[in-house]
Amino acid sequence: MTPKEVIALAKEQGAKILDLRFMDFPGMWQNTSYPISELTEDCFKEGFGFDGSSIRGWQAINESDMLLMPQADTAFMDPFCSIPTLCVICNIADPITGEDYTRDPRNIAKKAIAHMEATGIADTCFVGPEAEFFVFDNIQYANEPHETFYFLDSTEGHWNTGTAEGPNLGHKIRPKEGYFPTPPTDTLMDIRSEMVLHMISCGIDVECHHHEVATGGQCEIDMRFSPLVDMADKLVKYKYIIKQTAHQHGKSATFMPKPLYGDNGSGMHTHMSLWKDNNPLFAGDGYAGMSETAMHAIGGILKHARALIAFTNPSTNSYKRLVPGYEAPVNLAYSRRNRSASVRIPMYSPSPKAKRFEFRCPDPTANPYLAFSAMLMAALDGIENKLDPGEPLDKNIYDLSPEEAAGIPTTPGSLEESLQALSDDHDFLLKGNVFTPDVVDTWIEYKTENEVEALKLRPHPYEFAMYYDI
């Protein structure tokens, strides 16, 4: 879509408001709105000014002026606003130099693609994330000097079998038994279908939706794969649509990886493949029908996985999910079909076009522009350096003997540990000036100060159960 076509779309749809959206550094969508009269062809070249010092992880106050640069090919009509609103996703630029901002996540993703093209290895990187989420009926939490708690509730939750709901109709979901039940056990089918229809109206191709494994409203909606930057755009819209649809039904959707103790958490298994000249590069006659290029890419993912996870699993809550026993892979190995390996080679289709790997560690708190870019950079490093992923592990990793398991590297056990791994291993991200040193340093500093240290300072409610009477 060109700027002229965007203006025509706005007129056709009767848009009265222009909403500019962009991604902040940690991974939250931001926006600012204008009367639709401000939408001109010139604005796509000149941009809109805003205060970059008020965005988390960005500019100092003495360098606050920045530009929002609308990207015409991202325009869509917001399906929720009562006043017709045209949304356009923006890149961020420096108003003095006109250059793309180094800490703009979308710019980093664009640079990752440019670097891939410059290597000559591939011209397209397809990505397909499977982002899971919970839909709750109530959420309360508080963090005060004298009080801290959280309270979640879902009419589906197994803990509500004895609740007087006036009347309680039963059909609660037992722990870890929420995969694929029909209504009335699955109470969210119509809401998910509504989410899907909103996604389609916003240009997202959807493959399917279903209830997920956990009790208490865990769901998944699968999008069809897309090129990397486009998929990151779609994932941000996906999260917005899910939250907004749930909100309109008096419910609350969350992408926290581990909101419930003792049940499955929400992951974002991410499929990736490389193509060149419309030909899939991962299809071959090797293990699981994969090419040598594909195996080297997997070698890069496994070599750099502990550093990658600082971007693909960027919350302290992420590491409540990355523990053994809940289908979340903590062992860094690869396999075909085996879902206990951190890298899986799906075997659903024999078609060469379907050949891809699935990195199973990520979760949906990730900033998709950064997470997908980091994965691509690790895969390219593996291909360039012909990294050997080792032997596949075609058995249940959790059934291995202690001696066998000891030889398999594992994911970091905390955000602090993954940030240290990133500090120790990030040269592969700096190639092509994709992730600049200030991006890596700022990410580590921001996460350490605002999340790792912030959590360390606060008593945990369970500590009272363990220690209050000592």
Residues with catalytic annotation?
Answer: 51, 130, 132, 212, 220, 269, 339, 358, 360
Residues whose CB is less than 8 angstroms from the CB of residue 470 and which lie 6 or more positions away in sequence, other chains included: none
Q: Tokens standing for 305? A: 């996985």
- SS3 letters across 242-302: HHHHHHHCCCEEECCCCCCCCCCCCCEEEEEEEEECCEECCECCCHHHECHHHHHHHHHHH
Cα–Cα distance for residue pair 319/451, rounded to 1 Å: 13
Q: Are 229 and 110 in contact (CB under 8 A)?
A: yes
Q: Are 348 and 354 in contact (CB under 8 A)?
A: yes
Burial (CB count <10 Å: 0-12, 13-18, 19+), residue 117: middle
| Structural element, H or E, at residue 357 | strand 357-359
Cα–Cα distance for residue pair 338/320, rounded to 1 Å: 22
Residues whose CB is less than 8 angstroms from the CB of residue 157 and which lie 6 or more positions away in sequence, other chains included: 172, 173, 215, 216, 217
Q: Are 335 and 342 in contact (CB under 8 A)?
A: no
Cα–Cα distance for residue pair 364/76, rounded to 1 Å: 23
Helices (H), ranges, 385-436: 402-406, 415-424, 427-430
Q: State the Cα torsion 328-329-335-337 to the nearest 10°.
A: -10
Cα–Cα distance for residue pair 437/342, rounded to 1 Å: 28
Cα–Cα distance for residue pair 116/121, rounded to 1 Å: 7
Cα–Cα distance for residue pair 282/355, rounded to 1 Å: 6
**Residue labelled with tokens 């397209």:** 124
Measured from the Cβ of residue 470, the count of other Cβ atoms closer than 10 Å reads 4
| Structural element, H or E, at residue 380 | helix 368-384
Radius of gyration of the chain (CA): 23
